[in-house]
């Protein structure tokens, strides 16, 4: 079974980010395949109300995956049974998250290094789920692909329809070199789909990872934070034109207003602060203006701030952009 159409660019499950408003922002700019936020199996099994909201699916979402994280067999099993009552296109098992709060529980990237236990827990999901199952892992060794190949082959045997591989080890988190050759070795070792992940920030890095790994599909994560135009860029290539400041402000407005409708004004503005900063990052806005994001408490504050975004943009950015015309997070005058 093929999970993803050829040349898919998939929005990764991002804890604290990929809620319904976030996914709608990405979809406005060409994202078709997306995931919910990462869902803790224990919280879902115990009926946590907030965790259940992570499973919300918009009526306009043609394709949506869900990702579980956990290391307790009974929680994994119960979560898989719960997800059978929902409409998802794939259930993914996280074996790659390096976040300390996940790793200290023995889950995520730490579990991914305990190959036998990881495969055993994955098999529980595969045995219960009526929905196709996949896994997201990190490479285990930067120089020797053998351990990464081992887990990929065992996950394939356990019923995985696809595997996404982040090309950095657990300790590297989200920076530094991506070891494409390890992903390539794993892809060549199995018949199921392998999706390349890690360091995709623009069209150039997208092209590099596809060519170096031989994977036809990729998953983007941090590169899409505050930059939903990334999906347009990798599809349109030379025809792509970055957003203007006005278009940037409009997308921020749409994103935040939907977040307000979804969560209510007070909580939404708290949730939106990091989102707004992501939109501003690397686009020529002064630090003092970014600091004001922390003081947005209601819709009135937000609209006043939007006006300041256009007024506060520095001319030096355009001078810098002339020297670095292929910068990752460009604007268009």
Question: Domain locations in the chain?
Answer: 9-238, 245-317
- Residue-level pLDDT at 68: 98
Locus of tokens 């402000």: 249
- Residue-level pLDDT at 21: 98
Average pLDDT over residues 247-259: 97
Computed over every residue of the chain, the mean pLDDT equals: 96
- Residue-level pLDDT at 103: 95
Average pLDDT over residues 149-162: 98
CATH number for the region 9-238 comes to: 3.20.20.70
- Name which of 91-95, 166-170, 309-313 the model is least confident about: 309-313
- Residue-level pLDDT at 204: 95
Catalytic residue check, 249: no
**DSSP state for residue 5 in the 8-state scheme:** -
Average pLDDT over residues 100-110: 95
- Residue-level pLDDT at 312: 83
- Residue-level pLDDT at 1: 72
Residue count of the chain: 333
Q: Is the pLDDT of residue 95 over 80?
A: yes
Contact 234, 206 (CB under 8 A): yes
The CATH fold assigned to 245-317 is 1.10.1200
The confidence band for 54, taking pLDDT boundaries of 50, 70 and 90, is very high
- Residue-level pLDDT at 310: 86
Q: Is the pLDDT of residue 246 over 90?
A: yes
The confidence band for 22, taking pLDDT boundaries of 50, 70 and 90, is very high
Q: Is the pLDDT of residue 33 over 80?
A: yes
Same topology, domains 9-238 and 245-317? Answer is no
Catalytic residue among 31, 71, 97, 217: 97
* Threshold 0.85, pTM exceeds: yes
Token pair of 58 as six digits: 């918009």
Percent of the chain's residues with pLDDT above 90:
92
The contacts of residue 20 (CB under 8 Å, 6+ apart) are: 56, 57, 58, 258, 262
Average pLDDT over residues 250-272: 97
Q: Is the pLDDT of residue 203 over 90?
A: yes
Q: How far is CA 107 from the centre of its chain?
A: 18
Residue 217, beta-bridge partner list? 195
Average pLDDT over residues 246-262: 97
């Amino acid at each position: 079974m093929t999970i993803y159409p050829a040349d898919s660019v998939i929005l990764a499950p991002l804890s604290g980010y990929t809620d319904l408003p976030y996914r709608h922002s990405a979809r406005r700019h060409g994202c078709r395949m997306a995931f919910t936020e990462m869902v803790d199996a224990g919280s879902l099994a115990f009926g946590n109300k907030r965790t259940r909201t992570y499973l919300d699916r918009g009526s306009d979402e043609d394709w949506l995956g869900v990702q579980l994280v956990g290391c307790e067999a009974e929680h994994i099993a119960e979560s898989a049974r719960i997800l059978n009552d929902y409409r998802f296109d794939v259930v993914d098992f996280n074996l790659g998250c390096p976040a300390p709060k996940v790793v200290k529980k023995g889950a995520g990237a730490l579990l991914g290094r305990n190959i036998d236990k990881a495969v055993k827990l994955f098999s529980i999901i595969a045995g219960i789920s009526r929905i196709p199952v996949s896994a997201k892992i990190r490479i285990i060794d930067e120089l020797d692909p053998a351990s990464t190949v081992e887990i990929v082959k065992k996950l394939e045997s356990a019923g995985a329809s696809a595997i996404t591989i982040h090309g950095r080890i657990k300790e590297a988190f989200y920076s530094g070199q991506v070891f494409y050759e390890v992903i390539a070795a794993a892809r060549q070792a199995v018949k199921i789909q392998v999706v390349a992940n890690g360091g995709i920030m623009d069209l150039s890095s997208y092209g590099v990872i596809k060519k170096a790994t031989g994977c036809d599909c990729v998953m983007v994560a941090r590169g899409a934070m505050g930059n939903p135009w990334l999906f347009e860029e990798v599809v349109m290539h030379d025809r792509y034109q970055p957003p203007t400041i006005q278009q940037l402000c409009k997308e921020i407005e749409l994103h935040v207003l939907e977040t307000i409708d979804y969560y209510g004004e007070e909580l939404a503005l708290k949730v939106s602060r990091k989102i707004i900063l992501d939109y501003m990052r690397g686009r020529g806005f002064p630090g003092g203006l970014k600091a004001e994001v922390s003081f947005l408490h209601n819709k009135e504050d937000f609209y006043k701030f939007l006006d300041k975004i256009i007024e506060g943009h520095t001319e030096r950015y355009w001078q810098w952009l002339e020297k670095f015309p292929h910068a990752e997070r460009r604007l268009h005058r």
